[in-house]
Structure 1
Amino acid sequence: MSTNTASTTVISATPGDAGPHGEASGPRRASWAGVVSLGLGIFTLVASEFLPASLLSPIAADLGLTEGAAGQLVTATSIIGIIGGPLVVSALPRVDRRWVMVGLTALAVISNVLVAVAPVFGLMLASRLLLGLAISGFWAMSLAVTSQLVPADRLGRAMTVVNTGLTLATIAAVPAGAILGELIGWRTVFLGAAAVGVIALAVQVLTLPSVPPTGSPSFRTLVRTAARPVVALGVVSIVLIAGGHFAGFTYLRPAFEEIGGVTPATLALLLAAFGVASFVGNLAAGPLADRALHVLVIGAPSAIGAATILYALWGSDPVVSVIAVVVWGAGFGAIPTMVQTWMARVAPDRLESAGGLVVAAFQTAITIGAAVGGVLVDSVGVQAALLGGGVTAVIGGVVLASAKAR
């Protein structure tokens, strides 16, 4: 059956009814406060991930490093994320998921404190590896945990709430870090991030109910889930969609400058427009994922592809450039909720393993997309990265839409 009709499977086997090994444990009340606490956790984790991007210069100067070396603080979190999500899911098969989420948030708090007080770069880098593990594990578990907090026919909306934290962090972390770094110093900024993490931790403790593991998660279960043809095809699709996006997005500034000839002021406005559009796209994705997922599966990647190709070819026109940026932002803003809801429909009995695979696919896409995009920018030009990325994203959407659940 198609991914659209597969939703009946999820509704008939309500995720909230699954016990530690997939057995029925009775209905439970929806906990939207718990869903919000997960969104707050995602916000804290992702904001912490992007903070170094706005603080590279003072960090490098303070530790006697080049900015390129300091930039590995961002790379470290991404690399560990490829294995971190599946690792957390497989390594803790019987632990109450409430305490797993709380523990991962606490790990992020510890990471930020260690970065703030680290006297040498080695300790700082090790601390960022802890953050990468926390981010990937938290995001991997968020799908399965959220599915037990709300009715199955509200999962898309719930994931929109969770992913709102991701979108807001992406928009706010870099400018906020830059401003606060100038005012209070970069080490204090990381202490502030730790304080926000403590708030998220407290909200999770107060609002998250007990959430038993589902589907007997283990490394063997993870492998078996990945071996399912529809899941494997979904992972490939995610790599194509997200990789296509990041092939262009990583080089957005040179694209704006070389194609559009924008000034620094205009650059800031375009980036702001992209961020706002991403936020709106995320909000729209939830209801659409619940009611017409098949439309979203084609629409969101197509929006990314159309926008990147439009900007590559006609981005010198101010009106076209604004339209392209807004469409691009809205399309990508819908992607996290779209792929997580899709995975929930094709693998309702393996949500934890499926969530780990989604995170691994995204982190792989970031790494490959940025690398391939860089090769295209250096060898051909930034337009090639936009065109290649756009076409790849569309192909990913077509592959995902063609996947059949059996």
Structure 2
Amino acid sequence: MTATTTNTSFNNTAKQGAAEAPAAQWGGVFAMTLCVFALIASEFMPVSLLTPMATDLGVSEGLAGQGIAISGAFAVLTSLSIARIAGSMNRKLLLLGLTALMAVSGVVVALAPNYLTYMAGRALIGVVVGGFWSLSAATAMRLVPPQQLPRALAVFNGGNALATVIAAPLGSYLGSIIGWRGAFFCLLPVAAIAFVWQWVSLPSMPAQPRPASSGNALKLLKNPAVLMGMLAVSAFFMGQFALFTYLRPFLETVTHVDVSTLSLVLLTVGVAGFMGTSAIGTFLKWNFSRTMVGISILMAVIALALTFFGDDLAAVAILLGVWGLVATAAPVGWWSWLAKTLPADAEAGGGLMVAVVQLAIALGSTMGGLLFDTSGYRSTFFASASILLIAAFLAFLTTRFQRVTAA
């Protein structure tokens, strides 16, 4: 598939999806971006609060980290079935319902009297993650004209990056002042504002007729290029979250940072990620394959380096800053690949991508937790590096398969 053919196909599909929105409705785009911010903050808040949560709930840090895994598992189930379950439901009402469910999840987690209730709350946020992200690209096509679609998708990713900048260090800081439960409660006003803003700014979006393949997103895997790309995406996120989920206990037990320093290190990771998200477009235009392969290799090197320099605060801060720079930007590259590879199947492709990503996060955090509890942080970081190297190889193969398929 040549770049010209891909872009033409993408633009034609975008025109069809934007037929109901001849004028850009940026209020809706920004309202959804705020929802993305609250969603990402809710999903990964346990990363910065893992230690106090584990202590309060009476479980190990590895078990507390499974809150990331269960949200990922439920996101997988939801993303593969949301279009079929929602049927002819107006997409605006569906998005509002998911936003309300996000707030409910926050309350359940914040008030959880035991580990089981905590995991139930995390399962609810997984449902929201799977449903919201599956609909995001298709919704963007209905909010802006085709020529502004890339910008709208970049704004969505900006909400993701902003959450990465703020959520982890702020969660760690708030946790030290008002406790981890109070930190989760602080997300509720954000969810409420996102709900009202979407209610006011989103247009009515009746369900649209979908291609036959949308009935089962897994059918898309019959395309060899799609299958290889999804394998690469899976390996990347699995390797990333095998390490990232257990960053706080590593920093506290190996680097020996206090709460203030922990928040500063996490802020460094987030700020670097925001910068990376802003800059990756230039690299993707230069060479998609080299960019995505290079990111995975660089992250693998960082994972290994952390095992050697874990007790050196300056070195760890620099390494994690580079990690944040490339790790946060990588999803932008894979969503761009998806848009160009499946331009006519945005909803099904989005559901499949979310399922793959969340399943990979669940597997990565579970594996990382088991290794962390049984063999220590080094085994977790070595496993992360190994999987990221596999991701680099699969990313390289993805472009080769795409060329063969196009030919």
TM range (shorter): 0.7 to 0.9
Asked if the contact 1:93/1:213 (under 8 Å) is kept, the reply is yes
- Find 1:275's aligned residue among 266, 270, 275: 270
- Find 2:356's aligned residue among 337, 346, 361: 361
Please, which moves more after superposition, 193-202 or 124-133? 124-133
Q: How many residues align?
A: 395
Relative distance call for 1:2 and 1:48 in structure 2 (3 A) is same
Tell me the residue number matched to 1:384.
Answer: 382
Residue 202 of structure 1 and its aligned partner are, at CA, apart by 0.8
Tell me the residue number matched to 2:43.
Answer: 49
Tell me the residue number matched to 1:207.
Answer: 201
Residue 365 of structure 1 and its aligned partner are, at CA, apart by 1.8
Tell me the residue number matched to 2:230.
Answer: 235
Relative distance call for 1:329 and 1:352 in structure 2 (3 A) is same
Asked if the contact 1:116/1:187 (under 8 Å) is kept, the reply is yes
- Find 1:94's aligned residue among 65, 84, 88: 88
Query: Matches of 2:175 and 2:320 in 1, distance apart?
Result: 28
Asked if the contact 1:222/1:353 (under 8 Å) is kept, the reply is yes
Asked if the contact 1:157/1:287 (under 8 Å) is kept, the reply is no
Work out whether 1:346 is the aligned partner of 2:341.
yes
Query: Matches of 2:249 and 2:110 in 1, distance apart?
Result: 32
Work out whether 1:77 is the aligned partner of 2:76.
no
Residue pairs, 1:310-329, within 5 angstroms: 312=304, 316=309, 324-329=319-324
CA RMSD of aligned residues (A): 3.4
Residue pairs, 1:125-136, within 5 angstroms: 125-136=119-130
Cα deviation, 1:23-51, whole Å, max 9, x if unaligned, reads: xx466112222221111111111212233
Work out whether 1:304 is the aligned partner of 2:299.
no
Work out whether 1:178 is the aligned partner of 2:177.
no
Tell me the residue number matched to 2:16.
Answer: 17
Tell me the residue number matched to 2:185.
Answer: 191
Asked if the contact 2:37/2:159 (under 8 Å) is kept, the reply is yes
Query: Matches of 1:116 and 1:257 in 2, distance apart?
Result: 23
Query: Matches of 1:181 and 1:318 in 2, distance apart?
Result: 22
Relative distance call for 1:287 and 1:106 in structure 2 (3 A) is farther
Relative distance call for 1:233 and 1:390 in structure 2 (3 A) is closer
Query: Matches of 2:182 and 2:369 in 1, distance apart?
Result: 33
Residue 264 of structure 1 aligns to a residue whose secondary structure is coil
Cα deviation, 1:285-320, whole Å, max 9, x if unaligned, reads: 35665xx2x724431441331243256259649887
Cα deviation, 1:350-402, whole Å, max 9, x if unaligned, reads: 10010011111111222333455567773974663354134123113212322
Residue 55 of structure 1 and its aligned partner are, at CA, apart by 4.3
Work out whether 1:216 is the aligned partner of 2:210.
yes
* Letter of the structure 1 residue corresponding to residue 40 of structure 2: V
| TM-score when normalising by structure 1 | 0.82
Tell me the residue number matched to 1:6.
Answer: 6
Cα deviation, 1:201-253, whole Å, max 9, x if unaligned, reads: 11111222233444527863423333333322221121122223334434556
Query: Matches of 1:341 and 1:195 in 2, distance apart?
Result: 32
Query: Matches of 1:279 and 1:343 in 2, distance apart?
Result: 21
Query: Matches of 2:257 and 2:55 in 1, distance apart?
Result: 24
Asked if the contact 1:79/1:363 (under 8 Å) is kept, the reply is yes
Query: Matches of 1:215 and 1:346 in 2, distance apart?
Result: 20
Tell me the residue number matched to 2:396.
Answer: 398
Query: Matches of 2:195 and 2:168 in 1, distance apart?
Result: 23
Identity in percent: 33
Relative distance call for 1:288 and 1:209 in structure 2 (3 A) is farther
* Letter of the structure 2 residue corresponding to residue 384 of structure 1: F
In structure 1, the gaps of 5 or more residues are 20-24
Residue 16 of structure 1 and its aligned partner are, at CA, apart by 4.5
Asked if the contact 2:272/2:324 (under 8 Å) is kept, the reply is yes
In structure 2, the gaps of 5 or more residues are none
Query: Matches of 1:126 and 1:76 in 2, distance apart?
Result: 9
Query: Matches of 1:76 and 1:203 in 2, distance apart?
Result: 29
Asked if the contact 1:302/1:393 (under 8 Å) is kept, the reply is no
